[in-house]
Structure 1
């Protein structure tokens, strides 16, 4: 009698993973476009056995404290803009608002703003470019989720560096992928000329993206708050609607000094490209604002005319286990029990695991995060052949049911290397199958690097190459093409074979690997969308789920679910 009851309970949990719609009298199971939010009490099992070793936890927290101190300094430097002198010149002399103050006028709630690329631009070969010279992220304007790209003119006068271009292109990619209306708060001097060779050709892609997004019905809007020179002039003129501030905003390909040098004519910035000219003569902009508060009020008014998106009140309950425990669960070697992490992220710590006994080094299953049903894929050791087969099956299953996927990536070395060519081939086949499933998935992908992003199995777990909707990392994340220790040994052997000073090579190689594999190095180069503290993960996932569900259009799976 017990076995049929167990089967019924499992079938009930399986049905919970299917989307639900409500009518006035009946609730139906469906696979249509749905936000998959919970309207009932889940019967998923609570994750048990999450006890913490106090000695191990203390050791881990001590190591994490060093990372946290480094992260804090990173954030402080990023938020300092161009420095005290540049900030004073911008605010006191030029009487302008800072980029952060402009966002405060535009957003409904600045506290719920999901900033992207906060660490971008720090420690570059050409010096620090805090926030890559722009604040970018997603927030609500009159209830509509919008992407915002705001130049910070205190950083090199708002000029575009290669890393700034890389960040803007990534932000536009996110906006297009999630169909987010995009606001450009513009004050830019165009490209940084000493580095023009790295900017000129890829720089035109920003204009291409703006045009393509508009053609796809994704609104492109601009507020001109200062000089828009050279390439910066195209952003507002290509926008669908543009606001311009009187005697503060200017649009021209070449400013008054260039005009004088080329033609000998002396002309003011206002006559050459001011708000009066562009709002009443050229028609390049649409709304004339006397000052910044009025400009951002108009910007908010525009948002009221935008199409509304899917919105829902999600029923939610907190995890049973404290997220503040997570730093104590992260060992210096990034050995992390994935169940401990999942239990501190999902609602009620309730998880319906898929294929638990098959390929156990990859954990897959269903849970709710702030009331939204998600599929979770997390490393719990080396990605074996069976684990990859399971992962491909689960990804396709979520695509068939229109369930967003959360990847918790922490790749590990293979403790038992294959003993034959056939075994190697089987592993490669399984990994290739999962890469194909992830690459061709038709549901939102949200990836967190919670430990290691090392070697080819990082691709399998939806890294940047797989174009996830969002990709964040924890401060302890490690990024490398192979195990850093192995690379160090290989480079040392290569150095010794050429007769080089082994000790000198060792110091140089070790320093290089210690620097270039960190989360801070990766985030500053826009290899991801930013560093997230472990205890903030659940909040950031909630923000991401709101974004991916807001304007999404259901893509149908292109093939049946292949079991193995």
Structure 2
């Protein structure tokens, strides 16, 4: 056994201060999540229920297996924008008839479920999760289509939604549409391009053009039921495979459709699960709001991995990066965790080799971020930091095993890339509430701009405005600080959600289980041509 021995001082002042700061951040997040859960507000929800309808979250709750977890994705999408927090759609991974599925549920209490640019981005991200992890996709449909004032940002990229639905089907990944209300205009192609369609009698309306548009275009006078009602689609057009008597019945039928898929996982079955030896509650005090203060990522691993048991690789070489083998909820993982923030040449080379080893062993990789980036300076440039960092980025980019990323602390500069940030398509990416990510820290970025401006003034022979420089630095620092916070990034769907540190093990276990729906394979023998490009020596 190689059980980690924790040295975390849970009775110390630093731990208490970190814990208080994280709990305060979580309270702020609770308010933001409450806004997402509220949908269109009390009046809109009351009107919706008065029509005998369930809310989007009630539909999800009845769809998934009782007492099963639902891993909600991108709950703060559109935060900080003109649109409602949550982007008028609920997405996530849930268990339906013992099958992990991606669920997309339109929220009709927010502008009739109309799609704005963030709705589209959030939905496409959910569909990417379904495609990459081989998870059936269930769409709970009730949407007025595109939010017309923003059509310029939706119409052209929005076509990808229907393309991706058909590609899921072509890949053998089932797509199911359960239609509760309007699914009009382009929205009609959601059920139209899905494998299985359930429609609610008297509620579902699916048509390319409603009565007013039909009358304007053709002069024909028609009603909604004859144009696109469930009864018509069940008897005449054949679009509906199943017609439900009400919403609850529609969800029951949807569950039966999943039960008949004969779905089997292709990934390895997990080993026996052994809980960590240290309390997950301690994770609240490991990382504080001052990200310049280092922490030992082994203290995180001791509270996340099975039996707190890890096997470190190269523990004495490149000590600013921990590389280790472990299990989480029985699933094997290779861990890359930043220890002291900066990545040197040794850490980059160590990471490159470890990623190759994980691919040879068909083992998913978990990246735990706390990096300020690759080291700069004459000594390090001459020592080859660029080519060594490029080796790490090459390895991450072309690795074929599934990747998971969690932003624990800082995630700045090219270090964010080397540690498999969003642009490198990890299967899932989450952030802790005090994490930050940007091109560099706020003070560093403002300082760089100040140095450049001072040099420019000197080259022109003009006086340097010290007061203006101080004001500029303060403004830039405030801007970058705000834009590097997890809520800002989560609002733009740059992560899959901000999680309570205490939930890290549970969230990663759910992700690893979902990943195992598909094959888990690297670049080793038996998997075709090696995926890597040229490594510069």
When the two structures are superposed, what TM-score results if normalisation uses the length of structure 2?
0.91
Counterparts in 2 of 1:194 and 1:187: CA distance versus 1, 3 Å:
same
Match in the other structure for 1:366: 325
Deviation per residue, 1:416-443 (Å, 9 max, x gap): 73436422xx111111111111111121
Distance 1:121 1:221 in 2: 26
Q: Report the Cα offset of residue 337 of structure 1.
A: 1.5
Q: 1:526 aligns with which of 493, 501, 509?
A: 493
Q: Report the Cα offset of residue 49 of structure 1.
A: 3.2
Q: Report the Cα offset of residue 333 of structure 1.
A: 2.0
Preserved contact between residue 109 and residue 139 of structure 1 (Cα < 8 Å): no
Distance 2:449 2:338 in 1: 29
Match in the other structure for 2:356: 396
Match in the other structure for 1:16: none
Secondary structure of 2:516's partner? helix
Match in the other structure for 2:110: 155
Distance 2:147 2:67 in 1: 30
Residue 237 of structure 2 corresponds to residue 282 of structure 1: yes
Match in the other structure for 2:460: none
Distance 1:434 1:368 in 2: 23
Match in the other structure for 2:461: none
Preserved contact between residue 110 and residue 139 of structure 1 (Cα < 8 Å): no
Preserved contact between residue 288 and residue 434 of structure 2 (Cα < 8 Å): no
Match in the other structure for 1:12: none
Match in the other structure for 2:199: 244
For structure 1, which segment, 491-500 or 198-207, has the greater mean C-alpha deviation from structure 2 after superposition?
Answer: 491-500
Q: 1:462 aligns with which of 402, 406, 420?
A: 420
Distance 2:295 2:88 in 1: 36
Distance 2:271 2:421 in 1: 28
Q: 1:343 aligns with which of 302, 311, 334?
A: 302
Q: Report the Cα offset of residue 284 of structure 1.
A: 1.7
Match in the other structure for 1:189: 144
Counterparts in 2 of 1:514 and 1:422: CA distance versus 1, 3 Å:
closer
1:307-326 correspondence to structure 2 within 5 Å: 307-310=262-265, 312=269, 314-326=271-283
Q: Report the Cα offset of residue 510 of structure 1.
A: 3.5
Preserved contact between residue 222 and residue 239 of structure 1 (Cα < 8 Å): yes
Counterparts in 2 of 1:313 and 1:486: CA distance versus 1, 3 Å:
closer
Secondary structure of 1:363's partner? strand
Match in the other structure for 2:516: 549
Distance 2:386 2:314 in 1: 21
1:249-288 correspondence to structure 2 within 5 Å: 249-288=204-243
Unaligned segments of structure 1, at least 5 residues: 1-42
Residue 393 of structure 2 corresponds to residue 435 of structure 1: yes
Unaligned segments of structure 2, at least 5 residues: 458-463
1:211-250 correspondence to structure 2 within 5 Å: 211-250=166-205
Match in the other structure for 1:24: none
CA root-mean-square deviation: 2.3
Distance 1:167 1:329 in 2: 31
1:32-181 correspondence to structure 2 within 5 Å: 43-52=1-10, 54-92=12-50, 94-109=51-66, 111-124=68-81, 127-181=82-136
Q: Report the Cα offset of residue 409 of structure 1.
A: 0.8
Distance 1:442 1:163 in 2: 29
Q: 1:304 aligns with which of 259, 262, 271?
A: 259
Q: 2:443 aligns with which of 476, 485, 509?
A: 485
Report how many aligned residue pairs link the two structures: 517
Secondary structure of 1:446's partner? strand
Preserved contact between residue 385 and residue 430 of structure 1 (Cα < 8 Å): yes
Q: Report the Cα offset of residue 524 of structure 1.
A: 0.9
Secondary structure of 1:131's partner? coil
Preserved contact between residue 490 and residue 498 of structure 2 (Cα < 8 Å): yes
Preserved contact between residue 159 and residue 190 of structure 1 (Cα < 8 Å): yes
Q: Report the Cα offset of residue 503 of structure 1.
A: 5.8
Distance 2:96 2:368 in 1: 31
